[in-house]
């Protein structure tokens, strides 16, 4: 990856001044973005990879930084896909690869968990059809003290796709979903109501998982899939849900809230924008989101074409979405109003946004993300998915 050029510099300037506001964005104090540092490919990463690097996760463990990433010929499913696990003393120098996973089919959603001196990697196994999303179970690997990793073993139900894992309140928690195999099916049938289920689980040892809400693994049903949430200081929770399959609330996203003592009862507000790959976190007493933003249709995914059937709308919105460039953006989530406000774009282009963030001592975050090359043209999302993508990092200081 070459150094950022003129268009990249313009993106950085926009990001550092709050970005060009989305049409529905109120005025929000500026945030700042540091230099864009190439990671993969990068001067400290010598291990060979393929052109696409569109899934990743990063965590600090045992005094080092660990990065898990997907590499494949393109963004789309492939039998050549590999997951790579690398370690760096500080995330800034040389990366050493500790393990590489190849199962002859597609592998996605790598998620790292550091817990009680052990490091876990969870990931989803899918089919190799580039035109479909075919969940085939999840796997877990565990790192030994000598730096070796266990062989992948089955974990969770076969249809379950893990999304975000983190330690909350002194215990590992994880969100994921089932039913994802129907999202991109063109023949699922007219106005059939989608039946995806979002689950919220917790564990004591990283291997055996149970519902956070006793007896209720599923917290939301409908068209939602990728979901991240934050547990609030009052004991309640707020979630951002990607609603790509659509349901009675429309298409795009949902912003949902559950009160303390009633974490199984959620109320949601629909948002016509689709915040793909949501990363939700808290800082400075506020809730933040990093998620994908489309540049077309004034940022909307749901175009309100209610004269079409559910199936027809789902397909139409997907096609429209594929044809526009994307950005990876910072947003603020308002738990009481069930609203998301645009803050600004991170350095990104074309096919982008599957972010992970490490908190820094000064209150900033080191954000790792993937993007189409920042020099040259700004491809549509579809063209970007067919081209090379790189993993970069940059320091983000949030508004105060």
Residue with tokens 């963030």: 357
Q: What is the pLDDT of residue 31?
A: 87
Average pLDDT over residues 157-173: 95
pLDDT-derived band at 346 (thresholds 50, 70, 90) equals: very high
Instruction: Say yes or no to pLDDT of 14 above 50.
Output: no
**CB 328, CB 355: distance < 8 Å:** yes
Q: Is residue 97 part of a domain?
A: yes
55-110 residue pLDDT tens: 999 999 999 999 999 999 999 999 999 999 999 999 998 999 999 999 999 999 99
173-206 residue pLDDT tens: 999 999 966 666 655 444 566 889 999 999 999 9
Q: Is residue 275 part of a domain?
A: yes
Q: Which residue has the higher pLDDT, 169 or 24?
A: 169
CATH value at residue 54: 2.120.10.10
Q: Is 261 exposed, middle or buried (0-12, 13-18, 19+ CB in 10 A)?
A: exposed
Q: Is residue 222 part of a domain?
A: yes
Q: What is the pLDDT of residue 184?
A: 63
Going 127 to 373 to 226 to 294, the CA torsion angle's sign is: negative
Q: Is residue 383 part of a domain?
A: yes
Domains: count for the chain: 1
Coil, helix or strand at residue 249: coil
Q: Is residue 29 part of a domain?
A: yes
Q: What is the pLDDT of residue 20?
A: 38
Q: Is residue 1 part of a domain?
A: no
Which tokens go with 175? 């969100």
Q: Which domain holds residue 55?
A: 6-397
Q: Is residue 278 part of a domain?
A: yes
**Spatial distance between the Cα atoms of 399 and 335, rounded to a whole number of angstroms:** 17
Which tokens go with 22? 């989305």
Instruction: Say yes or no to pLDDT of 29 above 80.
Output: no
94-108 residue pLDDT tens: 999 999 999 999 999
pLDDT-derived band at 377 (thresholds 50, 70, 90) equals: confident
Q: Is residue 289 part of a domain?
A: yes
* Nearest partner of 211 among 257, 259, 157, judged by Cα: 157
Q: What is the pLDDT of residue 94?
A: 96
**CB 349, CB 369: distance < 8 Å:** no
Distances 107 to 50, 139, 176, 369 between C-alpha atoms, Å = 14, 10, 16, 18
**How many degrees, rounded to 5, is the angle at CA 165 between CA 162 and CA 168?**
145
Instruction: Say yes or no to pLDDT of 286 above 50.
Output: yes
């Amino acid at each position: 990856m070459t150094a950022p050029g003129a268009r990249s510099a313009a993106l950085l300037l926009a990001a550092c001044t709050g970005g060009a506001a989305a049409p529905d964005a109120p005025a929000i104090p500026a945030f700042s973005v540091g230099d864009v540092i190439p990671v993969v490919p990068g001067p400290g990463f010598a291990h060979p990879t393929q052109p696409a690097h569109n899934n990743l996760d990063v965590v600090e463990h045992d005094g080092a930084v660990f990065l898990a990433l997907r590499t494949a010929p393109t963004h789309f499913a492939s039998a050549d896909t590999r997951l790579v696990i690398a370690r760096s003393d500080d995330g800034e120098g040389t990366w050493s690869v500790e393990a590489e996973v190849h199962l002859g089919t597609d592998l996605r959603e790598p998620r790292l968990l550091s817990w009680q001196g052990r490091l876990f990697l969870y990931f989803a196994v899918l089919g190799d059809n580039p035109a479909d999303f075919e969940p085939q179970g999840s796997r877990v690997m565990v790192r030994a003290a000598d730096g070796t990793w266990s062989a992948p073993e089955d974990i969770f139900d076969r249809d379950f796709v893990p999304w975000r894992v983190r330690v909350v309140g002194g215990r590992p928690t994880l969100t994921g979903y089932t039913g994802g195999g129907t999202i991109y099916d063109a023949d699922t049938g007219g106005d059939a109501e989608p039946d995806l289920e979002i689950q919220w689980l917790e564990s004591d040892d990283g291997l055996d998982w149970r519902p956070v809400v006793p007896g209720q693994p599923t917290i939301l049903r409908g068209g939602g899939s990728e979901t991240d949430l934050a547990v609030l200081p009052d004991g309640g929770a707020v979630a951002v849900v990607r609603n790509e399959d659509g349901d009675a609330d429309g298409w795009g996203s949902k912003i949902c809230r559950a009160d303390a003592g009633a974490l199984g009862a959620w109320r949601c507000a629909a948002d016509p924008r689709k915040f793909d790959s949501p990363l939700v976190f808290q800082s400075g007493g506020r809730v933040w989101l990093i998620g994908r933003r489309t540049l077309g249709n004034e940022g909307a995914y749901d175009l309100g074409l209610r004269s079409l059937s559910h199936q027809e709308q789902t397909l139409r919105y997907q096609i429209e979405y594929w044809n526009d460039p994307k950005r990876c953006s910072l947003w603020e989530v308002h738990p009481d109003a069930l609203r998301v406000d645009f803050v600004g774009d991170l350095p990104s282009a074309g096919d982008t946004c599957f972010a992970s963030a490490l908190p820094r001592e000064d209150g900033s975050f080191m954000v790792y993300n993937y993007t189409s090359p920042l020099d040259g043209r700004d491809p549509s999302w579809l063209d970007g998915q067919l081209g090379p993508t790189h993993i970069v990092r940059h320091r983000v200081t949030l508004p105060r």
